[in-house]
Amino acid sequence: MKKTALYPGCSLEGTANAYLASFQKAMSAMGIEIDELADWNCCGATSAHAVDHALYLSLAARNLELAEKQGYEEVLAPCAACYHRLASANAEFVKKDDLLGKVNSESELNYGGSVKVRNVLDLLANVIGSNRISQQVKNPLTGLNAVCYYGCLNTRIPHFKSFDDVAYPMSMDRIVSSLGANALDWGYKTDCCGASLFVTAESTTYRLVSKIIKDAEARGADCIVVACPMCHNNLDTKQADICREYEIKRTIPVLFITQLMGLAFGIDKSELRLADHFVDADKVGPAA
């Protein structure tokens, strides 16, 4: 494995702390160590990239330069928004001549463009691989029906060849299968969850989330597995309200992929921070 730095971003230190905790547990269970990038800064998601493109490129370039300086070949960004920003900037640097030079000189940076950006799914499916994951399984999640929700950002980066199929990715499904669970086929893998509209247009988010939950419910999912803090937030926090409003029969626990791995690896639920979630995830496990 190439030398990789962890870029947690703001959400993994805040709302998605369970993602970070479970990620670290799952990795160390497999004997993989990933250090945090020292002195990282904001990735430029939400507002920066929308209001000032140059600022966002500088923010990304600084993070990537840090990685380069600290001797890393790759940066792992578990948050889909961070991943999207860092990978997009990187792709822009490659695509547009002189852009990197311009950003470097304006921001007094010296990023060489050598760092590869990955997200957790890419790392798990393409670097670590199902074999190594399945070898670590202590409690196979036999009989557990999971739907994998990739969200909109993980596979859709402009000018950047996606690590998986854009519209119907399978990497998370394969990881879930290697944990012994059934990854169900469903059509909402990459549909929009409403993202930050949750704050500004709640009803839109409710409608979008309701479709996702409704279909997952109809397919008999026991849980929804995600790899993005924002997706998790939208699907989990107000799910009970949404189910009531849209007459969905039951709520469905939403877990980070790393939490599901932790369960299969036999890591204690409290360490995986399952209790952090709004929809009760305590019963997720092998079918009785």
160 lies in the site for another protein, by CB under 8 A: no
- Closest contact distance (angstroms) between CB of 171 and another protein is 13
Phi-psi region of 9 (alpha: psi -120 to 50; beta: other; left: phi over 0): left
287 lies in the site for another protein, by CB under 8 A: no
- Closest contact distance (angstroms) between CB of 250 and another protein is 15
215 lies in the site for another protein, by CB under 8 A: yes
Residue 73 or 217 having the CB closest to another protein: 217
Q: Which position among 40, 149, 188, 265 is part of the footprint of another protein (CB under 8 A)? A: 188
Count of C-beta atoms within a 10 Å radius of residue 152: 17
206 lies in the site for another protein, by CB under 8 A: no
Residue 169 or 285 having the CB closest to another protein: 169
Residue 44 or 194 having the CB closest to another protein: 194
Residue 77 or 243 having the CB closest to another protein: 243
Q: List C-alpha distances in Å: 175 to 42, 78, 261.
A: 29, 15, 8
- Closest contact distance (angstroms) between CB of 235 and another protein is 17
d(CA 97, CA 163): 24
Q: Which position among 54, 94, 166, 199 is part of the footprint of another protein (CB under 8 A)? A: 166
Q: What is the dihedral of CA 122, 128, 134, 140, to 10 degrees?
A: -50
Residue 104 or 182 having the CB closest to another protein: 182
185 lies in the site for another protein, by CB under 8 A: yes
201 lies in the site for another protein, by CB under 8 A: no
- Closest contact distance (angstroms) between CB of 130 and another protein is 12
Q: Which stretch binds another protein (CB under 8 A): 66-74, 100-108, 122-130, 165-173?
A: 165-173
- Closest contact distance (angstroms) between CB of 185 and another protein is 5
Identify residues 218-247 at the interface with another protein (CB under 8 A): 218-219
187 lies in the site for another protein, by CB under 8 A: yes
- Closest contact distance (angstroms) between CB of 177 and another protein is 10
Can you give the binding site for another protein, defined by CB under 8 A?
A: 165-168, 185-188, 215, 218-219
